[in-house]
Every structure is written in C-alpha cells, then in structure tokens.
Amino acid sequence: MRISAKALDRVCKFCKISGVAEKKIFAGGRLRLARERAGLKQTDLAKKLGISASYLNQIEADQRPLTLRLMEGAAAALNLRKTYFADGEEARRELQLREDLADPLFRGLRGAQAEVGALVRNAPQLAEAFMALYRAYAAQRESLLQTNPLLPRFPYDEVRDWVQSRRNHFETLDRAAEALFEARGFQPLNLREDLRRHLRDRHGIAVAAAPGLLAEGLFWRLNRKAGQLVISADAAPESEIFWLAHVTGQLEQPGLIEAELKRGNFSSAETRGLARMALANYFAGALMLPYGRFLEAARAARYDIQRLQRQFGASFEQVCHRLSTLQRPDMPGIPFYFVKTDIAGNVLKRSSATRFQFAQFGGPCPLWNVYRAFAHPGEVLAQLARTPDDVVYLNIARTVGRGGGAYLARPRAVAVVLGCETAHAAQTVYAAGLDLANPDAADPIGPGCRACERTNCRHRSVPPLGTALDTGTAERGVMPYRLKGGG
C-alpha cells in the first residue's frame, strides 16, 4: 500500500497533537546516493518503502524530513548500516554555527537561526568558511581584551575545537583500548598492578616512585633507554593508573594515533603535538573505563557517578569525562557535555555531545551550579538550567582534586560539571526530586555575560557586546545601565 504525502501530513499533525515528537532529519542527498549505488529508480525504492514516488522525490530534495520509519525501511531496502543516516558531522556544524550566531554581533540575524540547518546541509563548505572567519575574528577580539595579547592559547583552542568536531569520541582508539583490556584479562580494581605488569612484561619498563618529582613540576618521566617510568610519589592511585594507561597508549598505538591526526588539518607542529597528547589521553581513559563494561555499568547504576567510581577505581572527574565520550554509533550512551573550570572561571577543559552553548569569550555564567560547587566542596549538586534557546539541562557539579599533600603545596581549586538535556534526565539518579516538567524550576543560565541576551538578570557583570547603552534614561533597573532596544 502506498501512502500519499497528504496522508503522512495528517499523521504528523496527529503526532504533534498527541505530544509525540520526532527529530527531523533531512538526509535526501545521502538517500539519493545510496539509491543510485543500489541501481534503483525512485519508483522502485518508493514501492519498497510504501510511499509515492513524488513523496520520495521531495525527501531526496530535502523538502521533507526522513522519518524514523522510512530510515529503517531504507536501511533495510538498500542494505545500509543503521547509522548511515546519522547526521553527526552535520549536527556538529549546526551546533557550532548556532553557537557562533549567539554572539550579539549577529543580533540582527536572530531569524536566521531557522535557516542554519539548511545552510549546513546545502552549503557545508560555506558554513565551514563562515565559522573559520568567525573564529579568527573572535580570537582577535578576545586577545584585545587580555592584558597579554601574546598568551599562547590558540593551539589549545584549535585542538579543543577538533576534539569537539569529533564529539569527543575516537572509535578506533576506543575499540583498541577495550580489546587490550579484555585480551590481557585486566580487572578494574586491580588495573594499577595489571598495567605495571603489562609495561614490564611487554615493553621491559619498570615503574618506580620519585618523592621529589612533583617539585620539578612533573607527574611522570619515561626513560625508554633505561627501561624506567618514574611517577610522582604523591600521585593518587587513580591518577597513576591514568598515566600508566597513557604511556601504554603512546607505546602501543602510535599507528592509530597518527591515523587520527591525519584526519585533522592542524595549523602548526605544536598544535599537532598537543592533539597527539590528547589522543593518548583519550586512549588512557578508554583503557581505564572500557566502553562496553562501563556503559553497561553506567546504565545499571543509572549513571550514579560515585557508584561508578567505586566499581572502577576511578576519580569523579575521570568518570564524568568518560561519560561524555560514550558516543559509539551502534551503542551510544546519554549525550553529555563536560566542563572543568577553576574558581576564577577559567574553563580548563570542555567537550560536548549536546547543543549546549559554551562561552566563546569572557567568563561563563555565574548562575551555573559548577560555581556553587566551590562553596560546597565535595558535595554533588544537581541543577536544572535553561539556556537562552529554551533548552533545559540537568547539570551535575562537584569540586574535584585532592589536597596538596603539604601545607605549602597550595592545592588547585577546580570543579567539573556534567550535563544532559532533560529528555535523558530520567535515566539518571540525579533526576530524583527534580520537577523536570516545570520550566520555571530551571535556573536561567547563559553562555557568559558578553554573549547572553537576558537583560533582566541581576547577576550580569557586563553588558552584551555589540549593544548600545541608554545613558539618558530616568529609570534604574536590576543593572546599573539600560540597553538601547532592550529591557
């Protein structure tokens, strides 16, 4: 039986009335390519899918979305993998472009947000060119705001953006780490000794502790010729495990790491070197918390971070970061974002598999619970937060790190936050007691004061960039200034 476009429209309207929402995926180009490779005409594939040829033509022209039912039917009819229509790279571009357009510089283009998806799908190179131009502009603007415009931070930003473009997931390294864990019979709670033994037996490297290494500003030092890996005696057990896994990745996976680096277009040898370190770190996290075991445990524990800590002998930060990387196409976890920040508001690490908008410049939002965590050290804080695009997130924040080990060590005050959209929140223990259905229960947060459009926020530190101030008003609002055209 063939279903007409009009009938499908009625079904869609019924779904909207019933509250059944389905993500719209426009994948006409990929569908047309797969059909042509299979040697099928539109009429042939339309018949297999039970729709009219005209409706299929509209789908391939991106005039209509590809529904879940049709995606599954097309994948079966054309012998495609289930993830063929996943728009990971398109989603990454769209997310980044929307974040760029949140800059007040583009205030006059607010209506263009609805056109972002079409631009990314139909002119991906133009979208990339725009984003590259904007990044160059934003970097120059931010450098002018700094007291030291020569601060060497651009390579870090470049690597961070590259990792973000991969949704913080590198499948080849992930699978290699998991295979090593299983092949060697490693055990989560004995991994420290397992890795020491593995480095000794396979690479002839003995591990030793050095009391004064941290005073030199080093956590570990590898001497391949001497066959020795020296690790700071002050290291926490979970930190030592991570460093052992990092060195293992460097020694055993240079081929996979270089293959991943070839997929990046880095501007300098320094940036490429930082990316190489980031990939070795990724391997280390994947070896400590192997994908299949960890995802199964996370689901069973309802993503309870502290339970997962005990089960795998990892730190709170390590578990949070690993949860943000679980984006294997055929076995994804909850799409989380992850941020690590210090008490001064400096973002030390960030990654996201969500639509969450990070601050491109200036400090992050003070209403974010990651900053409240510093007032409650060691306590896990759950928060519902609504961003300016009206997306509500569940945020889990806590301070991390250990004491300095000595009075004069000056331990670093840092905190992490793990967040997901509330559509996934019920899968976690952290939704308990939260009113997920009430939008007023969410704190209004933004991507930092310089980019946030909320004019009635008493926590605002500076006006948004690109906005003129009204200094002639006879009113005094929650801010010591008024914005022209604003509240």
Show pLDDT as tens, one digit a residue, over the chain (487 residues).
444 445 445 444 433 433 334 456 777 877 887 888 888 999 999 999 999 999 999 888 878 888 888 888 998 899 886 666 765 566 667 777 877 776 666 766 655 656 777 787 778 788 888 888 887 777 666 655 444 444 444 687 788 878 877 878 899 999 999 999 999 999 999 999 999 999 999 999 999 998 878 778 788 999 999 999 999 988 889 999 999 999 999 999 999 999 999 988 888 899 999 999 999 999 999 999 999 999 999 999 999 999 999 999 999 999 999 999 998 888 999 999 999 999 888 888 888 777 676 655 446 788 889 989 999 999 999 999 998 778 899 999 999 976 555 666 667 789 999 999 999 999 999 999 899 988 788 999 887 777 777 777 878 777 776 666 776 666 666 666 666 655 4
Helix (H) or strand (E) segment spanning residue 399: strand 392-400
Give CATH for domain 152-288: 1.10.10
What is the separation, in whole angstroms, between the first and last Cα of the chain? 56
Q: Which residues contact 50 (CB under 8 A, 6 or more apart)?
A: 1, 2, 3, 73
Amino acid of residue 114 = A
Give yes or no for a contact between 173 and 257, defined as CB atoms under 8 angstroms apart.
yes
Q: Has domain 5-77 been given CATH number 1.10.260.40?
A: yes
Beta-bridge partner residues of 349:
340
* Distance separating alpha carbons of residues 157 and 143, to the nearest angstrom: 13
Q: Enter the DSSP assignment of 264.
A: S
Question: Domain 302-454 belongs to what topology?
Answer: Beta-Lactamase (3.30.450)
Prediction pTM value? 0.70
Which token pair is 65?
Answer: 């979305």
